[in-house]
Structure 1
């Protein structure tokens, strides 16, 4: 199979869809890999590294799309890429269709086979291709939140860990999944007082067992959230519903109950965000302020640490890429249900019902 890895062109996205190590494994399986020139530069991988691994370097993004049977990316295609995608071409990347009707319609019109990293699901119900980026984003949410709590950036002026004689900052984490646990771990490591909320009691018991004593668990309800936001310095939104829009756990009217300079970080922004006031931002302009509350809603947080993110992503995507390349997408999906669950749009038809539900579309979903 001919596999193409274009350069990511989303704002400040420095990750790349595959490492030279991944290229080596694919060429070892007798596949041809096309890498757009300088696609890996932002992640610390150079054209020479890819060529040594067996890749063919193509100069333009148009050449990569044109030459390839399957495209392996990091982020969803953006407007400039829509017309480059061919009918029957496999596109394997993060799509997050539920957050963008425009993207969904474009991929329907492309007649491509869209396999979304974020809905590939293993036999245990875990999302193996989402986990590493969730781990990165969860840890980064505290790193970024701590920075934006500083007064020069309009934060409350609170040091999360405090100092002797001064109590630590308070962090509220909504969601006890991968993002939430990693955020809680980082905040606890800084010495902050952490409250983590979820509606899944099994998950809360797990958190209670593995976290230090200054991480406390609480059942998530609107009443409890409204109570906690009044005293929190940093609020992390890490709620995920597979393939669907995130629920709005913090509404616009709740902002008035927060102290001026409170920072909220919405890690669920790719799925529409779990704060009503969320709007996607970029690393170039990462924050905005509403009602004196600092919002950090960068849609590609792991793109700020591209080397770590690219290696972590290739570690988990490569086995699926190899299977798709060796077997073809139809056979791969027939023998591996986890890949089949990644199918979102196939030749103009939505095959993942949560996408249609996100836009209230009536469709027959197989």
Structure 2
């Protein structure tokens, strides 16, 4: 990873580059910053830069053998320690060395912008809390005993250093204070107070502030030029609080919500008419290809539409959380979700979600659901016409 791949943080980048140029690189450093600010990407870019033999204009060259390996996170002198716990693969005595394959794939997929929670999800540890154990500390001490294989510096990056077990912290104190020559230890953390004082005191602090709104906005526009407007990018940046991971999540959620709105509106219209079987079939096939999690989100979105319809019927439009386009649709749709069918429609969608979680055939499920919802909407129409709402 090069510095240019790290979002914003220009002041921190310049400070790190200066330490290399002035030959005053601290051998143990603590990169401290909130989630999504880029502490880990900065550490990766710094490690690549410090070991690049062809540095130019405050940047690693990106093409030498060292840079190529760093960009794949596969350099023999780059090592990672991170929180782990038992899962289906490792039943006892978990440690970082046993999960290197998963970690490297995770890093590649997210290009360094990872969080503790997404790592735990990728690891499949359920509700357990990850820990950096004494076994990991022993591995670090062992690694530090070797000379660099091919680079000027051996680099050890400890992700979420606040998850160091007390016994692991104590084992590392001597190594952190007096690491071997040509060694760089970088601790990555979000919570300074959770790291024991004896560890904190042995590391040079590098503060990584939250990203600026403009940096988040510009990165969204750079990465998704055809998918996000300037206005939407600005809105997402403001809501992200300088957290790139949150900005990505908000952007993807907005995309999913818009798709769900368009398709749910189309689905309800087809269900209501109940005559265009070809169009219903095509839509059912499209929904069947979404995948289980997206199918569940689509149906949950439908439940939210029914819920918002109730608010509108009760005159509580201030409680409706939706875009203007959605609100316009809800005003027209809400009257058809009434006492004649409301309970049944809720039950149908909740039951569908239940069966999707248990691997029901999506084609059969959505086909049957379409006709049942069509019947419900006709009941709602009849109640509306007769004033029985």
Bigger Rg, structure 1 or 2: 2
Q: Does the TM-score normalized on the shorter chain lie above 0.5?
A: no
TM-score, normalised by the number of residues in structure 1: 0.29
TM-score, normalised by the number of residues in structure 2: 0.27
